[in-house]
Amino acid sequence: MKVRPLSREEVRGVDARALEGFKMPTVVLMENAGRGAAAWLRDRIGRDEGRVVIACGPGNNGGDGGVVARHLDAWGFDVLVAWFVDPARLKGDAAIQRDILGASKLEAIVVEADAEPARIDALWQGADWLVDGLLGTGVTRPVEGLLARAIASLNRSNVPILALDLPSGLDADAGRPLGDAVRAAATATFVAPKLGFSQDEARAYTGEVIVVDIGVPRALLAPYIQTD
């Protein structure tokens, strides 16, 4: 089954119908998404002693990053979670992941809102891979403040980056950066590629695109399945 590229609104619709029409808790979809991305990274690194730093932002993309962190930790990787938000502000599924991470005693740090670039740069030292879980498909305007500094720091790290769903700062529909955007080595995108990925400009940001199956029922995806 191959699902055609989806727009921002179509992605939101899939999530809403999964919950309302199919009674699938969205935290189940988040779990499947994060585990699928983590499995790809595990296989890419090819060993279980690698160092991975996961940058987590204020929304569900940060929750996805939390799932990635948990599974990599369970598989033996050296993991650091860097929260680019006050974790107390997280809500819904992202807050669930925050609580599980806290109980699991994973190494984590909260990056202050006024953190200088050098402070952020130091987070990536010694890492084999970085995971971009800062921002998701909902971004429609240029990124500012701490998150903008985080994106710039990731891009100058010289460490390969796996973006979750799409590179932070990239417009999901237009495929262009909203100010600055993460330049990923690979993007683990959930359910289907995003509409903007087909644009030539987007390829410099997405890198290799891997579509991760998150368990959405075939009946729900039927309108979007490619038949040719």
CA distance 5 to 138: 16
- Domain 8-214 in CATH 3.40.50.720? The answer is no
Q: Is 216 in contact with 193 (CB distance < 8 Å)?
A: no
> How do residues 5-62 score in pLDDT, each as one tens digit?
999 999 999 999 999 999 999 999 999 999 999 999 999 998 767 899 999 999 999 9
pLDDT of residue 228: 66
Q: Which helix (H) or strand (E) holds 72?
A: helix 60-74
Residue 171 makes CB contacts below 8 A (sequence gap 6+) with: 139, 140, 177, 178, 196
Q: Is 101 in contact with 90 (CB distance < 8 Å)?
A: no
pLDDT of residue 153: 98
Below-50 pLDDT ranges, the chain? none
What are the tokens at 206? 């997405």
Phi-psi region of 23 (alpha: psi -120 to 50; beta: other; left: phi over 0): left
Q: Is 224 in contact with 4 (CB distance < 8 Å)?
A: yes
pLDDT of residue 46: 84
| Three-class DSSP category at 208 | strand
What are the tokens at 56? 């987590």
pLDDT of residue 142: 95
Domain positions in the chain = 8-214
Phi-psi region of 207 (alpha: psi -120 to 50; beta: other; left: phi over 0): left
